[in-house]
């Protein structure tokens, strides 16, 4: 059996907050990421995503539990050799140029000078930074710094990518570029674990998503299965809806003899039969499919709303 790129077992983390008050940022997180998958770690602000990622990267220690990268404990620096890491708010030595910074990163990963030269140019081009590559980073825009952050994760061609909100601060072109890069990494057999609040991004690139709220891991789902569950019900615009049929639905809006309502999937057949029998008719029937956003919002709502630290 191949070793899991990431495995976390009963991870807990509490911080000392204001006036020594304990903040339970992570409660009992167990999760395994399999080779070659793109995993989206979703959660509202303050949910514990960055805390998890910092533990994985050995930047902070868990209060309890274990995390392993390719079978090596995350507090061992050797665990990070085969990882490209993008922190939440990347900040670089800003007196360096992007090219100089990439050279520094390449040396830290013991790459040869020739490999550093060719790989730096490759990733600079990929992230559209070639033109700015000799200018000091201090003159870069936020999006350019983020793109350099992505570039440095790719330099040493690791097998695992741990990215804390990789699309953050990017314009639509930058976001599309990063999504394409993630999909290319997947095609190359790499493993990607990234955090995000943007459900549409997760839906487009992830094989699997996991949702964390208030430090509690809620559920993990295979995205294709979630989408295949398909139609929740139908948004209908109808004429001639009988009053007794109308009463069995919530949130019906009516005007000028036309009513709009949502009919759940399992009630649709009887609704349609009743409507037609009483002489009514359909103006519009639109299937409503549950997507990752609906799924995420339902989980957040049922947990009592988004946490915000």
* 131-149 CB burial, b ≥16 within 10 A, e <16: ebbeeebeebeebbbbbbb
Sketch the per residue contact string, 43 through 62, with Mg ion: x for CB under 5 A, - otherwise.
------xx------------
Q: Which is nearer to ligand ATP, 168 or 191 (CB)?
A: 168
Distance CA 177, CA 183 (A): 10
Residue 191 interacting partner from ligand ATP, Mg ion, none (CB closer than 5 to 8 Å by kind): none
Choose from Mg ion, ligand ATP, none: what does 17 bind? Cβ within 5-8 Å by kind: ligand ATP
Output the CA–CA distances (angstroms, integers) from residue 183 to 88, 177, 281, in the order listed.
Answer: 21, 10, 46
Which residues are registered as beta bridge partners of 284? 237
Structure tokens belonging to residue 255:
């005007």
219-227 contact pairs (CB < 8 A, 24+)? 219/299, 220/31, 221/295, 223/40, 223/292, 226/290, 226/292, 226/295, 227/203, 227/289, 227/290, 227/291, 227/292
Residues that bind ligand ATP (CB under 6 A): 15, 17, 23, 25, 43, 45-51, 88, 197, 309
Query: If DSSP codes are grouped into helix, strand and coil, which group holds residue 280?
Result: coil
**Toward ligand ATP, which CB reaches closer, 191 or 307?**
307
17/139 with CB nearer ligand ATP: 17
Rounded least distance, CB 213 to Mg ion, Å: 14
Taking the complex as a whole, the smallest distance from the CB of residue 141 to Mg ion amounts, in Å, to 21
In angstroms, the CA 153 to CA 266 distance is 48
In the bound state with ligand ATP, the residue whose beta carbon lies nearer, of 15 and 104, is 15
Nearer to ligand ATP, 51 or 153 (CB): 51
- The DSSP result for 99-119, as a single string, is HHHHHHHHHHTT--HHHHHHH
Nearer to ligand ATP, 25 or 205 (CB): 25
Pick one of ligand ATP, Mg ion, none as the site partner of residue 15 (Cβ within 5 to 8 A by kind): ligand ATP
Question: In sequence order, what are the residues at sequence separation of 6 or more whose Cβ sits closer than 8 angstroms to the Cβ of residue 218?
Answer: 210, 211, 212, 299, 303
Q: Is 168 in the site for Mg ion (CB under 5 A)?
A: no
- The CB-nearest residue to ligand ATP is 309
Minimal distance in Å, beta carbon 157 to Mg ion?
26
- Residues 196-255 close enough to bind Mg ion by CB under 5 A: none
Q: How far is the CB of 309 from ligand ATP (least distance, A)?
A: 3
User: In the complex, what is the shortest distance from the CB of residue 49 to Mg ion, in angstroms, rounded to a whole number?
Assistant: 5
Q: What minimum distance in Å lies between the beta carbon of 150 and ligand ATP?
A: 17
The side-by-side arrangement of strands in the sheet containing 231-239 is: 253-255, 258-264, 231-239, 281-289
Instruction: Give me the residue whose beta carbon is nearest to Mg ion.
Output: 50
| SS3 annotation, 173-219 | HHHHHHHHHHHHHHHCCCEEEEEECCHHHHHHHCCEEEEEECCEEEE
Site string for Mg ion, 75-114 (x = CB under 5 A): -------------x--------------------------
Give the interface with Mg ion as residue ranges (CB under 5 A): 49-50, 88
């Amino acid at each position: 059996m191949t070793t899991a790129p990431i495995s976390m077992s009963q991870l807990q983390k509490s911080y000392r907050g204001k006036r020594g008050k304990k903040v339970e940022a992570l409660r009992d997180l167990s999760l395994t990421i399999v080779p070659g998958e793109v995993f989206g770690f979703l959660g509202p602000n303050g949910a514990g995503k960055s805390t998890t990622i910092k533990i994985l990267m050995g930047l902070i220690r868990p209060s309890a539990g274990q995390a392993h990268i390719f079978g090596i404990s995350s507090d061992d620096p050797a665990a990070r050799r085969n990882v490209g890491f993008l922190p939440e708010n990347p900040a670089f030595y800003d007196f360096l140029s992007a090219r100089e910074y990439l050279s520094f990163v390449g040396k830290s990963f013991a790459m040869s000078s020739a490999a550093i030269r060719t790989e730096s140019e490759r990733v600079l081009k990929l992230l559209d930074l070639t033109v700015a590559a000799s200018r000091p980073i201090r003159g870069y825009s936020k999006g350019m710094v983020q793109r350099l952050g992505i570039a440095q994760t790719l330099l040493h061609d690791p097998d695992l990518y741990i990215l804390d909100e990789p699309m953050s601060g990017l314009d639509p072109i930058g976001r599309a570029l990063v999504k394409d890069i993630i999909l290319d990494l997947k095609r190359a057999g790499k493993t990607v674990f990234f955090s995000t609040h943007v459900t549409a991004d997760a839906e487009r690139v992830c094989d699997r998503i996991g949702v964390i709220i208030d430090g509690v891991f809620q559920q993990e789902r295979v995205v294709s299965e979630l989408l295949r569950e398909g139609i929740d019900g139908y948004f209908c615009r109808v004429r001639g809806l009988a009053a007794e049929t109308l009463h069995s639905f919530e949130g019906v809006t009516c005007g000028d003899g036309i009513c709009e309502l949502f009919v759940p999937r399992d009630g649709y057949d009887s609704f349609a039969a009743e409507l037609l029998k009483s002489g009514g008719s359909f103006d519009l029937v639109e299937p409503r499919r549950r997507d990752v956003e609906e799924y995420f919002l339902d989980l957040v709502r049922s947990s009592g709303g988004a946490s915000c630290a």
